[in-house]
Structure 1
Amino acid sequence: MREHLTSPLTLGDLADAVGYSPFHLARLFRTTVGIPPGEFRTALRFHHAKRLLIGEGLSVTDTCFAVGFDSLGSFSSRFTSLVGVTPATFKRLPELVEGSTPTRPYVRGADRAFDGVVRGTVRTTRCSAIYVGLFPQAIAKSRPVAGAFLTTPGPFELLGVPPGTYRLLAAGQPPGADMIERLAPDAGTLVGAAPAPVVVRAGAEVVHQDVWLRPRYATEPPVLVALAALSMPQL
């Protein structure tokens, strides 16, 4: 998939390459990775788009075509949905983030009309910027339902969580991470997840959700959400 980001690639093509039926491959892939093959490939394409925008300095239009889209409107809409900000805003994030890195923990609540609470602890030894969030799926895309930013490993509290079933995901970056790594995380970012889905019920607390951070496996989707933007209330 990584070598054919812009080429037409169907589930049948993938199944033929590994010798499985499309149905069996789709089921096995989702069981192993947590999301369908098509969604995983989409994540790879937009992760590449993020790096082209801020690492290679491509324009939004050039990036759109470079990752295989022929409609700028469709590309921009999908990018915004997955990353949490528009491509144009994402391209400006390095200058916006540079002078506004939080110096204390910052908590983002989902909706204070809800009273669900999730508490836990992030465990790691090498990170100075840690993002924790509740997501509908096992992929960090768009903005989390509720999230927290920590400057050191330790306890977190997610407030205002509506009832539902979520995946608790976290990403941590070491001191001195460059701007590309901070906004389009790759090998330098540690990731982790609660071992099981988090079920939030009205008026109840979900506690003891420990998350251990580690290097991302090749079978895991990239972090799509613009991490540094999560700790900036103005975005």
Structure 2
Amino acid sequence: MTSATIEHAVHRVISNMRANLGQDLTIDDMARTAMFSKFHFTRIFRDVTGTSPGRFLSALRIQEAKRLLVQTQFSVADISSLVGYSSVGTFSSRFKACVGVSPSVYRELEGFATGIDQEPWPDSPTSPAGVSGITLWGHVTLPEGRAPGPCYVGLFPTQVPQGRPVRCSVLEGPGPFELRNVPVGTWYLLVHSVPYGQEHLVSGAAGDEDSDTVSVGRHGPLTVRAETVPLPVSVALRPLEVFDPPVLMALLDLRTGTLASATG
């Protein structure tokens, strides 16, 4: 089986997800769309996208909810139903966990955040991840022909940029970065960027008319061990693709042209 055949099957499933966000899509439904066994489908979907079909579908639903909150006057209850949630409470809790703010606050802030909170990690030998005191250095590069802009650099436990990053930074443009006091553990470094003056597109989803404007990059898994200095990381940005999970966390409002602190 060729990689093109596999990618076409996954692309077909993602298109079906987008067209039926309000429906109850099961793994069996998705596997039938892909024309693979459920076990094989789940494996190839993760290989192509970096996450499970269920998590990808959930991310698409929250992404659509973000769009509806900013671009329509639908109530939170209506939006909850439109993106496949039967309970407004469950939707609101899930939205806040992924985006960082409640649906009503996200609408009030027009889709941005006044700060980006980092996940607190207690410095305790009994904690799941102890603070290592290690700094991760790296460099973000942008291919020739793509316009530069602010870069959001975040360290996450999964390949979906949602919730609080364990560490983050906002750069004025492609170039060097450092993340201090990185916790011990295994993380993914995710970067998102848009040209100056188009910051409102920073959480655009692949398939949107403006999606080609958004640049993304990733590195990982990256394992941080106590008393071991990780090698510098290089992240090359590229256009957002349909296989990339959407950016769920509310990103810092840079529309004023002033680079504010990334932490709240």
TM range (shorter): 0.7 to 0.9
- The structure 1 residue matched to 2:50, chosen from 11, 19, 34, is 34
| Corresponding residue number in structure 1 for 2:126 | none
| Corresponding residue number in structure 2 for 1:161 | 182
Query: Which residue identity lines up with residue 73 of structure 1 in the other structure?
Result: G
Q: Is the 8 A contact 1:112 1:159 kept in 2?
A: no
Q: Relative to 1, partners in 2 of residues 1:156 and 1:107: Cα closer, same or farther, differing over 3 Å?
A: farther
Q: Is 1:117 the counterpart of 2:135 in the alignment?
A: yes
CA apart distance, 1:96? 7.0
CA apart distance, 1:118? 1.0
Moved more, 200-209 or 141-150: 200-209
Size of the aligned set, in residue pairs, is 226
CA apart distance, 1:192? 0.4
CA apart distance, 1:30? 0.9
Residue aligned with 2:232, SS: strand
Task: Report matched runs for 1:82-101 at 5 Å.
Answer: 82-94=98-110
Gaps of 5+ in 2: 1-16, 124-130, 206-210, 255-259
Q: Is the 8 A contact 1:110 1:146 kept in 2?
A: no
Query: Which residue identity lines up with residue 213 of structure 1 in the other structure?
Result: L
- The structure 2 residue matched to 1:69, chosen from 54, 64, 85, is 85
| Corresponding residue number in structure 2 for 1:58 | 74
Deviation string 1:159-217 (CA, Å, 9 cap, x unpaired) is 121100001110001111153x24x32313110011x3111112332232111111111
| Corresponding residue number in structure 2 for 1:142 | 163
Q: Percent identity?
A: 38
| Corresponding residue number in structure 2 for 1:205 | 229
Query: Which residue identity lines up with residue 22 of structure 1 in the other structure?
Result: K
Query: Which residue identity lines up with residue 58 of structure 2 in the other structure?
Result: T
Residue aligned with 1:81, SS: helix
CA apart distance, 1:228? 1.9
Distance in structure 1 (CA, Å) of the matches to 2:88 and 2:119: 32
Q: Which runs of 4+ in 1 moved over 6 A?
A: 106-109
Q: Relative to 1, partners in 2 of residues 1:232 and 1:60: Cα closer, same or farther, differing over 3 Å?
A: farther
Distance in structure 2 (CA, Å) of the matches to 1:89 and 1:229: 14
CA apart distance, 1:95? 8.6
Gaps of 5+ in 1: none
CA apart distance, 1:219? 1.2
Distance in structure 2 (CA, Å) of the matches to 1:136 and 1:92: 28
